[in-house]
Structure formats: structure tokens, C-alpha cells
A and B are shown apart, each in its own frame.
Chain A
Amino acid sequence: MTDAAAGPRPAVPRGYDADEGVTGPYPPTEEMLAEPIPEEVRQAQEDRLREVWKEPPGWRYLSAVNNSEIGKWYSLTAFGFMLLAGILALVMRAQLAVPDNDLISANRYNQFFTMHGSAMMFLFAVPMFEAISILILPAFLGARDMPFPRLSAYGFWCFVIGGVFVMGSLLFDAAPDAGWFMYPPLSTKQGGIGADIWLLGLSFIEVASIAAAVELIVGVLKCRPPGMRVNLMPLYAWYVLVVGGMILFAFPPLIAGDFLFELERGFDWPFFDPERGGDPLLWQHLFWIFGHPEVYIIFLPSIAIAAMVVPTAAGRPIVGYSWIVLSAVGTGFISFGLWVHHMFTTGLPTISLGFFSAASEAVVIPTGIQLFAFVATLMVGRVTLSLPLLWIAGGLAIFTAGGLTGVMVAIAPFDWQVHDTYFVVAHLHYTLFGGMVLPVIGGVTYFYPFFTKKQMSRRLGLWSFWLTVVGFNITFLPMHLTGLWGMPRRVFTYPGGLGWDWLNLLSTAGSVIVAAGILIFAWDLIRPKGREPLTERNPWGGGTLEWSHDVPEEKWGVRSVPYITSRYPLWDQDKIVERMDAGRYYLPDAEEGHRETLVTSVIDARPLQVLRVTGPAWITMAAAAFTGGAFIFPTFHMYPPAIVSGALAILCVIYWLWTSTAQIPEKSTKDIGLGLSVPTYVSGPRAVGWWGMWITMLGDSTAFASLVFGVFFYWTAGTDFPPADAAHVDWRWSLMAGALGLAAWAAILLARTTNRGGRPLPAAAIAGAGAVAGALAIWAFITALRLPGLNPTSHVYPAMMWALGVWTIAHLGAGIIMLLYCAAALIFGKATPTHDAPMWNVSLYWHFMALTVTVTVLVTAFLPRGL
């Protein structure tokens, strides 16, 4: 195949008009691509690119923000946390090896199982997906970097600080010990700071996860190479899109839950205290609305890795591309309808259980389609059983067993027996080991030459594989029976004589074998390979763009950004690697000395903009450290330092935006090669920043919706919500607050149009006025809550009203900062009538604020009066 025109219908639109900034021929013709590049030009281009993309030397290396460095640190850190959590598991297995053992105390055991689960979920499984995606997604997409490199770096440092804080608590015997699910009232009523550490440390990491999700979604939507239409995207990119979207809708309910939880722990607002109208079940709902999609957030990326490895192993394109896309999207949706299957024994009406039982069975169908599509691909191809494929095959064998037990536990009556027993422990480890750990190891083995130009050892790999798989089954297969024979989970000991003795001993023996397997893998991963020959560029014969890379020698990613006409360009497009290397495609140069990547349109990936991405910086690390302070100080009830730290974090972020993101390029368009010239600055929906804001606010609104759900939940769950004689929020002040909030929204819209009309200073004044209106709205909201004397510690009803108020007030505060930022940007020339991206992004924020403010007014001041 040579060019895009090879379809039955001629591609109608050709080229762009001059006046919108994109000029020149597009798509490139074969003749244009065939034209050679003079050697000296090529040399000069390479030197400039190398200079721009080189990593900072010496200790400054830590200030790197490039996706390849951040991705590498991120995945190694996550792997390190996995090993730590694995050690906890081994100690627990040792404790359970024999009945009535007293190797570790009950208290320590409870800390260990809590941290094992929490770390595996929050510090390994989810971050690992983000880390691997940050590391390899740009390569799949022929992009030089992620759209917001400093955001990745910020997310990574948040993760490190939060992870070390939470895991470190184990050393002080102060770790959380109420289970990774932190069910109140146990977790809210018990003393100590364990629950606070869990809550704040992990909220902090959840924020980092959402940051990564925003980055990855925008990366897939806007940073694809020219020509990579939606039907040509590598399947991994589809999965990233789906999983990113799921993170965006799954984590916010938990963040909302955390918010309520900390208000109860810190200020005694009784959300989960039944004596004051609260209900412990609300936490379970919010936790599992997060928790079940989370399982798929962990599983789908590994399937995505399999979807990259399987076609390579079969030596032919995937069979059923559309089917797999459907499965990914379908699983993403349905996974949000399963959460109550973690709550089958909470006494909900059978009919409610029925819905979730049914949805839990329905989700099997898309998952099954994915597996069968892999089998079908292998069937029609000529299979080489490479080490990566072996890991993936082993993973899928284990995963299907876990899936089948999943079908069993989705049947509610059966779950009533095995819920919270070792049967479920076995089930979940089968799904997570088979659906995550093994495929990820397969993926690491597969992509290792891509990162390092070295191969992992096949001999060690086989040892590791068989030890892990055999050990795993010795550990977890007997646990099904242990559970059916009645052994509950989360017990630090058990009596002899119930038939569990030999089963547990067997499991403990198996766990040692798994540990040996994982250790061999870890050794193979980090052992020095300096003397081994470099691998060839595309050792497995893959067809996707990442194998065009020549790392680690060259840090620029792709030498030039190719024009794509196939799902497997390296298989189908003649001479593509040669031409990429020659700099024949787009962006072969860095004349201005800036790091640049190409931004394209969402559906057809037409070139839209050259995006200047940010380079190495310390400010991201400082911002992460102060954000950490804002979350960690409250653990010790040190609120003033937390507020100072939070303010400093905001200042850091503003400084970073002001000094790097808000740069106006010296020229409005740039020749990106092949005669195509595109803008260097865009604003509104064409800009990545706008998409980043849009996606962030979707997540934010989900959290807000979860709080509103809380109001309805209390109304259905109890009879005293609101209590008969309750004081209500003052509706006049509330209305006024709403009106002022909407005025601030109108102000930013007006400021944007005024600025577009060529009058930046009046626009700045309008934005400033908007900020004042926002501040007045805050004051009016506080008055509306205080005037009627709503006491949030007295009952859950006033507490819920205050929680909604606090949420909205905090968001208004952020909105005010943004308005002031816009005003300052207009005054100091960081934003101009033609360069107004901040105005668009802040307008978008305020669209969401208008919604939030309106809903808050309705739900606090009016709805309860009607209930």
C-alpha cells in the first residue's frame, strides 16, 4: 500500500486554506515522500533535535520531564511497591502456615493485609498502567512526548511522595488496619492515625491518577500522527482511551467518599454514624462504584498489551479489530453496573441484587469476545511461541479460571456463601494475576528491547514463568476449597481441626515458589546487560510504530512524525522507517530550539498545530511536594501548615503555567516539512489545554454528582432525612449566591469576547469584576448556611448541606484564582486578542461552575423543603 488514496471513494478534501494557519499540501504524495534529503541537512537537523531533547546531565537528571524518563521511573517505582506489598503477603502466608500461629500479632497482621491490598491496588496496579502508558503511548502514536510532560512529572512525584508516606507508616506500626476498603464505622470510630494516613495518602495518589488519565486521554485524542484515523489507531490506544475515561468516572466517587470520610474523621460530621442519621452503607456504595470499575481499569490495559503482542506473535493483523474496540468500550460501560456485587450480603432487597447479578453476568460477554479474538488471530496466523506470548498465554489461562469463578460469585445466593471467604481471595488473585501481573510481565519482556536495545534472558524467563505459574496455582487453587470449607478472609489466625490446616500449609508453600519466580524476573530486569550485543531495531517483527524507535541512543522518540495509512505501518507502508529516519516526514527539525510535537484532529488526525512541550523543571517537583504537604499535614491534624502548603502548591502551579505554558510563540505558523505549514498557537477546542480542562472537569463533576447522590441516598435509606424539625438552608441568600456565581460565569464569557474584539485591558477589568462576584458568591453561600444555624455535627442532614456548600465554595475559590490569572495574563501580555487560550480554558471551567452552583442551590435550598 502506498498512499491514503487507495480507497474506493476518492478522498475529497485536499489541503487547507491559507487564512486559518494551516497551508500546504496534505496528505503528502508518494513523489513528495520519495524525494531524498541531503545528507548535510539531515546531519544539521539531527544535531539540533539531539540538543533539544537531551536529558539534563548529572543530578539535574531528576528534573527531567520527558515521557521516557518519567515513564521509566514511574514503572520501576510501581514495581518496587509491588515487591514490598508482595513481602507483606509472604509474611501473612507465613503467619497462616499453621493454625494458632503467633509469628506476628493480630494488630500487625491487620496492618499488613490492609497495606497489601491498598498498595497492590493504588501503588502498583493502577499506577503501573499509567506508567507503562506514559512510557510507550507516545511511541505507538509517533509522538515525541505526551502533551503535558510537566503534568506527568507532577503526577509521578505526587505518587512517590504519597506512596512512601503510606507505606512508610508500616515502619512506625501506625499503618492503616481497617482493610483496603476502609469500611466505616470501624475505620471512622477507631483511634490512631492509620485511617487518616490511608485516606489522605491515597486521595493524593488518586489525584495523581486522574492527572495521568487526563494526560493519556488527551494524548490519544490529539497527539496521533497525521493520517491515523480512528479506525487505524493501535488497539492499545483504544484501551488507553477507555481506561482513561473509566478512571475519570470511577475515581471521583471515591474522592467524594474520601471527602465525606475525612470530614467525619477530622470534624465529626456524622456521614457514616447511624446514631446521627448517617449510614455506613453510603461509603460502601461510593467505594465500590470506584472499586469495581477499578478491577477493569487494571485488567483492560493488560489485555491491551496482549492485543499488541498477539498480532506480532501471529505475524498478521488482529482479527476482529472492531469487535475488540466494542469489547473495550462495552466493558468500560458495563463495569460501572457491577458495584453492588461486592455488597450482596449487606441486606439490600433481592431485586436490587438481581440487577447487579445480571449485569455481572453480562460483562462476561465483552470479555469473552476479547479472548476469542486473540485465539482467532493466533488461529489465522503462523504462531511463534515467544516468551512474551508464553506469559500472556499463561496469564489468560489463569484469568479464564478467575473469570469462571467470577461467573459463579456473580450468582448472588452462591456469593452469600463464599463472600469474604478464601474462595473470593482465590477468585480475585486469579483475575488479577492472570489479568494483570502475568500479561504485564509479558509486556515488559516484549517491550524490553524497545526501551533498552537488550533482550531479557529466555532461560531466566522460562524459569520465572514456570515457577510463577506453578507456584501461583499451588498457592491459590487450594484456596477455593479453603473458602468453601468456611475459612473467612482477613483472619490473623484460625483454629486447627476445621480441615484448613493442610490447605493453608500448601498455599504458604506455593507463595514461596511464586516469590522465587517474581524474584528471578526482577533480577533479569535489573541485572547489568552491558556486555550483551544490542538487539536489532524490531526484534519481534512488530508492525506498529513503536518499533521504529531507535532508543536509547536517541531521546527524540521519532526522528520525524510519519504519515500513517495503515494499522500496521511497519508491515504495510513501504520504506516508512527509512523515511522517518531520514527526516522525510513531519517535524524533522528543531530550528527554534524548542521541544515540539504535532497536534492533530480528533477523528481523522489532520495536522492542526505544532505544540511546544515543556522541558526539564524543578517546579513540578516543588508543586508535588507542597501538594503532598497539603494532604499529609491534615493526617496529624496540623491544619495551618496544610493550608500554607496548599497555597504554595497553587503558587508553584501558577508559576509553572506563567513561565512556560503561557509563552506566546515568536511566529504564528511553522513549516513542519513536506511543504505543510501549521499554527504554533491555537486556543479553544483545538488546543490540548482545552481538552485537558474538559476532561478534568468531567471527572470533577462526577465527584460532585456523587455528593448529590449522597443526598438522595440518605433520603431513600432513612426516614429522618431531612429530620422533621430541621433548619433548612436560607433560600434567599442561596439564590443570591447562585446569581453571583452565574455573574462570574457571565464575566469570563464577556471578557473572552471583549478580548477577542481587540480590547484586552477592558477584558481584564471584566475578569477582575468576575472574581469579585465569585468572592461575593462564596460569602453569600456561607451566610446561607450559617444564618439558619445548621450545625454539621448534629445530624447528617446539615452535614450534607455543609459538605455540598464546602465543595462549591472551594471550587468557586479555584475559579476566582483562574479569573485573576486571566486578568493578570491580559494585563502583562501573556494573553492577547489573538492568543487567548487561558480565556477559553477558564470559560470552560466556569461552564461547569455554573452547573455546579445551580445544582448546589437547588439541592441545598429548595429540594429538601419538598422531601
Chain B
Amino acid sequence: MKKQTVSHKVFAIVASILVVLAAILGWTAFSHPSASAQSNGRIKVVFWHEMTGPAQQQLIKFSKQFNQSQKKYEVVPEFEGSYNEAVQKIINTHGTDASPAVFQSMDISTSQMHHTGYTTPVQKFIDADNYDVNKISAGARAFYSNQGTQLSMPFNTSQPVLFYNATLLKKLGVTPPPVNPSYSDITKVAKQVMEKSNKKVQGMSVEIYGWLFEQFMANSGASFANNDDGHASTPTASNLTGPSTVNTMKWLQTNVKDGVFANYGAGGNALNNEIASFLSGRLAMFLQSSATTTQLTKGNKDQVGITYYPHPDGQKSNGVAIGGASLWISNDKSAAVQRGSWDFIKFLMTAKSQAEWQAATGYLALNKDSQKQPALLNMYKKLPESRVPGEQLAAAKPNNTNSGIFMQGLIQARNLTQTAMEQIYAGSNIQKALQTAQSSLNGNIKNNNRANGY
């Protein structure tokens, strides 16, 4: 072995340590990605979204189109995972270089986002530009506004609807449900399907999903929380034990007991199993978000029918709230960046963009003029049922019970309502299950209000 001097070796080791450290620190200092000034002189507008699949492709396309349409701003779309993850990321990066200029946040985070104080309400830009908001669906706008101020711009919007396998019903000789069905209309169809298929096809299914629970209440005109579902002021208590809610749960439980109802449980796999059963012709009807339309119709030889969300018997439907997410502008960026964010939002809300959005994703076009756009007209021609969710949205007059719940902690609330649904499906006492959920929820609301000093 070659003999080396001591200092040589020491030098080698110390140098290697220094190189590693210097490399890491150097990177951090020089190549930080989130500087707001771009080399090409454009103002960078970072856009955080939570869309995947076709919706993500379409958003990337929109960003490119917007960047080509003007020379001042450059929108950079970045994907941030699930809605829940994104909310945390947005709140925890606020004020750093990494935070977004404009972001998409889910429906039930509205109150939480507003109360962080990290956002500039889009109302400010609507007023400054005299932007005509009446072009945008009133039901969707109402969900994201508070005391007359538009907090964020509704974007990807879906409606809960009922899907049925039209081909299968025809084959069995069962009359499909009407466009705006009542609970007993659904039961009737489900029973006939079971009988005529010799119990080979399940009649109906309602996923254990808090969103659907909320929509049952909305459609029967019942408030989930007091103070007009939080639209008047911060809710202090919830009301899950009202007669209409009990009535709905009774309807579901009876169907479970009669054996015409398939229970797929809760969570992400429940939806996948439900869809798999529906596609393979083992399930005739189910309630789900209209955003699944693409998945249900693509590559499916059977014809799929769509109706409004079911309403209680002997009562007109009050209309359901929307689901999905809206676009917010962060207030930790310069006025120029915020302006760029707003211009991008305006671009996304044009009649043309919205029509293309619905055709590509199944989310509803919110601009009223979109209905005349070729992208949508082509889709309606190919798939006439795809009109139904949009019609349902247009038919509902927004009021305090069908414009969402303006309350924090709705994720926890959904866990509670889902537990209640699970118990009810398993045959528990309805009143008791709902009462348990309500007391826990009231405890949560009280704690939350105390912690925030309301």
C-alpha cells in the first residue's frame, strides 16, 4: 500500500464533508424555485390545484392558453394531492416563498379558509372590474359567499344525482324513475328490479358519505346547523334529529331491511366497489356526485340514466347544494400577483372555458352562456342525460338550507354523520344514532367556538 502523509488524509476527509455541506447549502441559496420574478420578465402566478386525470390535463391546457393569451403573467399549475392535504399545506405555507398566489380549496373548507384571514375576497376584484357575476350560477356563488361578499370563485362544481342503468331496467321491463323522483318512486323501482331479476341485481345503494347525508337535509329544507346553517352568524349547535332527517333515515333503513339495498360501506373503496358493481350490471341505481359521469359512461355499453336527487314524499324538492371546490386568492402576494390571479380566474370562468371544462371532466359549466358553446352542445348530442345535473343546479333557488353549511370542522362532522349512517344501516335505533352524532357534534362546535373566541 502506498504511504500517504497524515495531512493528506485529514484533508481528504474534511474536504469531503465540506463539499457535501457546501453543495447542499449552495443549492438552497442559489436555486430556490419560488422567486416571484421570472427570467422572461413575466410575473409568476403559482396556482395550486387538487385535480387529477382528465381534469388535471384540462387545467394544464387552460394555463397554457392563458399564458399565450397575454404577456404579463405566467401561471404555473402545481398539483397538491387531496383536498384535505391541500388545505393544510395552504395554511401552513402562508407567508413563505413556497405559498401559492391562487389556489383551489374544497367546498367544506370555505369557512375555515375565510377565518384564517389569509385570503383576499374576490369581491374586491369583482367590484373593481364591474365584473358581471350574474353570468355565474347563483347556487354555486351562494355557497362561497358570506354576508353578501363573494369570498372565492366557484370552480369545479358537481351535483349529487341518482344514476340508473337504463339498459338493465329496460331488459327487466321496469319503468325508470321520473326526472325528479320522490323516496317512494325509488323504492318502487328498486323492489321491481329485485323481483324481476330473481334477486340477481341489487336495487339501490347510498354510500355512507356525509355529503349525501347533508344533501338529504338540504333537499328537504332542513338546517344542519343553527343560525341558518351558519349563513347568518357562526353556528352554536347542530340539528340532526329533525323529523325530515329521521324520515329519510327511516326510508333508507326500511330498504336495507327489505333487502333491496346494497351497502358498500364508507371511504374511497366504497365508491370504487359501488361503481364496479354498477358497471358490471349488479346494481341498478345509486346516488353519487355528477363528477363520476365520465367514469360511468366511458367504455360502458349500457346506457346510463340520470335523475335529480330524491326528495321526501308529499313535499317539493328544495334543491341540493353543490359539491366541489372554489378558487381563492392569497393575500401574502404583491398586488400585481393578485391581479394576475384574478385575471386567470376570469379566464377560467369565460363561457368557452367553462363549456370545455364540463365536456372534459363532468364538472358543471357555471357560466350561463356556456350552454350555447359547441363543446357542450356536442356533448349533449352524444349523451343527452348529461344535461340533467346542470338543470338541477339551475332549477334550485338558493336559500339558506341549500347553500352549504358555513361552519368550521365539517370534516369531523362528516365522520359523525357517517358513523350514524353506518349504525342505521346495521339496524340501530334511528333516533338514538342521530342523537349520539348530534351531541358529539355540538361538543365539537362548542370547543371550536371557544378556541376561536367566537
The answer on A and B forming one complex is no
* Residues of A near any B CB (own CB < 8 A): none
